[in-house]
Amino acid sequence: MVGCVAACTRRLYFATTPIAIHPAVWLAHVRRGEGERVARAASRMPAASWERELLAALAEPDEEARTGRVNEQLSELDFLLARWARVPRVCASISSSAGFLFGSLAVRFGLVALENVPAEASHDAINAVILQAVNVAVLGMAGASYAIAAQYAARKAARALSHDVELLVDALESLPEGNGGRGAPHSEARGAEGDGR
């Protein structure tokens, strides 16, 4: 169950941090007229390959090619956001099933052990066995609950990030040349295009 919790946490990380620069932060800089600073930072960050590809796509002079390249980057982002998307559901199933399985085993082995317990103490012993089984099952349900919560949070975060990216792309496309948008310096954007890929 600890492994399931770790895997669900990893999925949540993928959904909230698929790229190096969060689009909401980038958009805030663009709205303050500091888009070029983000473009320069992205050109120096090894992990910002998606950002560099987006800037290179926006710098494409041909409008039809630019649209295709931008859409390609949006599809790439969808792929990044979907990493490990099925993991929380699988972990919820594993945790709940494991909880019930080990709880049942605790009851079975506990009742077998009660054969040597005196009759006057059997009532308390049975209660202890049942309590132990319930505790084991509760651990499994707790793991399943965490997996469900992680899945919900990851979906919500992915939707919010996608929305922020759409706003960012619209803002970058509307920028005049030389301000970190469509007019981002071609040499800088294209020179880093192959980095991290």
Averaged pLDDT for residues 171-194: 54
One-letter amino acid for residue 93 of the chain? S
CA dist 94 and 182 (Å) reads 48
Q: Residue 91: CB partners within 8 Å, gap ≥ 6?
A: 4, 5, 7, 8, 143, 144, 147
CA dist 182 and 197 (Å) reads 22
pLDDT tens-place string over residues 99-136: 999 999 999 888 888 877 777 777 888 888 899 999 99
* Single pTM value for the model: 0.78
Taking residue 20's Cβ as centre, other Cβ atoms within 10 Å add up to 16
Long-range contacts made by residues 185-190, C-beta under 8 angstroms, separation at least 24? Answer: 185/39, 185/59, 186/59, 188/39, 188/40, 188/43, 189/39, 189/43, 189/52, 189/55, 189/56, 189/58, 189/59, 190/56, 190/59
CA dist 143 and 123 (Å) reads 31
pLDDT tens-place string over residues 26-48: 999 999 999 899 999 999 999 99
Say if CB 138 and CB 99 are below 8 A apart. Answer: yes
51 vs 185 pLDDT, higher one: 51
Q: Containing H/E element for 188? A: helix 186-191
For position 197, what pLDDT does the model report? 35
One-letter amino acid for residue 181 of the chain? G
For position 74, what pLDDT does the model report? 96
**Distance, first Cα to last Cα, the chain:** 35
Percent of the chain clearing pLDDT 90 (strictly above): 71
CA dist 126 and 81 (Å) reads 49
pLDDT band at 143 (very low <50, low <70, confident <90, very high): very high
Averaged pLDDT for residues 142-170: 96
CA dist 32 and 24 (Å) reads 12
Question: Residue 33: left if φ>0, alpha if ψ -120 to 50, beta else—which one?
Answer: left
How far lies 27's CA from each of 10, 115, 165, in Å? 26, 70, 8
For position 192, what pLDDT does the model report? 38
